[in-house]
A and B are shown apart, each in its own frame.
Chain A
Amino acid sequence: MSRGTPGAPDVRDTEGTAASTPSITVTDGVEWIHECFPEGDAHLHVSVYLVRTPGGDILIDSGSFHHRDRVAARIREATAGAGPRALILSHSDYPHSGNIPALRSEWGDFEIVASCADPEIQGLPYARRSRIGETLEVLGRPFTFLDPPLADRSHTTWIYDRVSRVLFVADGFATLHPPGACDRFWGALPAAGRAAGVAEFHRQTLRWLRYVDPERLMDALVRLFETHPVVAVAPIHGPPIEVADLDAYLAMLGDAVRAIVRRQT
């Protein structure tokens, strides 16, 4: 494993989209595993996270089937072949849930905690359903499931690890990043393109933002962090954001949302 620091080496594969190490430490006991997807001149992360517990490793999301073999290889390497003992799913959108069958095929019927929707309708009849507002123990570790102000699918939950105080935010807090910066945390991305990366992701992806009152949305996010203090925010489609950089991210997000709204009026 390595840490996401400025200037970290970026080793490309044939698609030019791979990370240099199987996992990158976010904080003690939480690691980031990512692949990238080219989007115009930039990259979009498609990530999973590993939460290390005495009872085994918990995987947060499963990655996209587009990256199936490489994600499985990284998980295999990061867990010394043992694989996850449990998986918590933010939502059953395919870039998040697409590898569950393959991972279960390799590592057996480990526990799956699904998001807040009916697991059968989501194609996960074997999963335990989470409910927004509740805290569940997974391998003895408590996770609280939160209603996400930023999401695409209505059945998304944000997952708050009460031990590490990392908040896993699914499609929230994402950004596009430049090629060559795939392993860097958000605060270590080149400053010149950070605001544009945040703005472009939200313009492309959360299309409903065109209708919002930006202040209502941003107030909801601020309130959430007041009640759930974080060490880091862990998006699937962007690099981790350390708490020291959170205000800067929120400021850029607020600017991005206001720009999206202005463009519609």
Chain B
Amino acid sequence: MPLSPIERPPHREVLPGIHWIQECGRHRVAIAQDLAAHGARWAGGGRELHVPQNAYLLVGERTLLFDTLSPAAGGLVLAALDDILGGRPLDYLAISHPDVPHAGNTGRIRRRHPEARLVAPRAGETHALYHLDDALHVGPHDVIDLGGLTLRFPEATFLDAALHTWMCEETTRTLFTVDWLGFPHVSGECLRRTDEIEAEIDVDRLEAFHSRVMFWFQYVDVDRVRAATDALAREFGGYHLAPAHGLVVREDPERYFQLMNEVVRRVAESGRGGVL
């Protein structure tokens, strides 16, 4: 059954108190062609293929924005914040890692919301190079209580740069996995949870993202990565999954850990799939 389009603005409350803001960007022709060549019928039919950036605004008694979208979406994220906050202050602006597609609107948001306390990963040694030395630094032993929502900051198990954190919210049991568990979607699937789209997320779709972004999977000892993934599954089994470059997973999250083990095996065997 065809899905009805979601009207602008591009955000929704995807779980209680968790507002998902999505930047879909342009059609990714090369990735669409690769997927079509692998028989991915969901990626055909003249639909646009998106590799999104996601930001999440958590609203309890206090508010926190996790990541900022890319500089190409500065107006979008500010409009979404206005929409959701409705005049309330933004209490915290948290950066998962200072990569441009995640942190590229930090300055604009801070100018609009000078009241927001900047939150950055404790991990890493070079905060001053990113103007993050004065931020509130958070790590695995820290908690931010938003009043009704409780945030922890587990180590980023799969990451690019060292200055990096994941986040989890304990009331809804949601793990924010940043660059891990990304995958493309097509027009019609924007801002849909995986249980709301027709196609089942499969290894091909996850591989299309990770073989480009987690380029280092091509050099790994697969068993070592599998052990880390299995440890994650034990710690966060049953948590909803909220990636920065995919759709939110509410149902059967355990399945995704298994899919990712297969993704790693494939990339280690076949090499990098290209770039985004």
Contact = CB atoms under 8 A, between A and B. Distances in A.
Is the pairing of A and B real? yes
Interface of A: 37, 39-40, 44, 46, 64-66, 92-95, 97, 116-118, 120-123, 125, 131-132, 147, 149, 151-155, 204-208, 210-213, 216-217, 220, 261, 264-265
6 contacts: A93-B100, A93-B161, A120-B72, A123-B100, A155-B276, A204-B125
Contacts of B158: 208
Interface of B: 25-26, 53, 70-72, 98-101, 104, 124-126, 128-131, 158-162, 164, 212-216, 218-221, 224-225, 228, 272, 274-276
A152 B129 contact: no
A121 B219 contact: no
Max chain B Cβ within 10 angstroms of own Cβ: one of A118, A149, A211, A264: A211
Contact of B276 (A149, A154, A264): A154
Contact of B129 (A46, A117, A122): A46
Given A122-B101, A125-B72, A95 B126 contact: yes
A261 B221 CA distance: 10
Contacts of B101: 121-122
A20 B100 CA distance: 32
List the 9 closest A-B pairs by CB distance, nearest first. A123-B71, A152-B161, A154-B213, A213-B221, A121-B70, A116-B275, A217-B219, A120-B72, A211-B220
A122 B276 CA distance: 11
Contact of A132 (B70, B160, B221, B275): B275
B131 A65 contact: yes
Contact of A94 (B130, B164, B272): B130
Contact of A264 (B26, B126, B224): B224
A205 B163 CA distance: 8
Contacts of A216: 218-220
Given A121-B71, A121-B100, A264-B224, 19 more contacts: A40-B125, A66-B128, A66-B129, A66-B131, A92-B100, A94-B100, A94-B129, A95-B126, A120-B70, A121-B25, A122-B70, A123-B70, A153-B160, A154-B214, A205-B161, A207-B159, A211-B221, A211-B224, A212-B221
Nearest to B156: A207
Contact of B99 (A44, A93, A207): A93
Contact of B275 (A37, A44, A154): A154
B213 A64 contact: no
Contacts of A153: 99, 160-161
Contacts of B216: 208, 211-212
Contacts of B72: 120-121, 123, 125
Contacts of A120: 25-26, 70-72
A208 B221 contact: no
A118 B276 CA distance: 7
A21 B99 CA distance: 31
A152 B126 CA distance: 14
A147 B215 CA distance: 9
B254 to A, nearest CB: 22
A208 B128 contact: no
Nearest to B213: A154
A118 B129 contact: no
Contacts of B275: 116-117, 131-132, 154-155
A95 B129 contact: yes
B125 A64 contact: no
Contact of B26 (A118, A152, A154, A261): A118
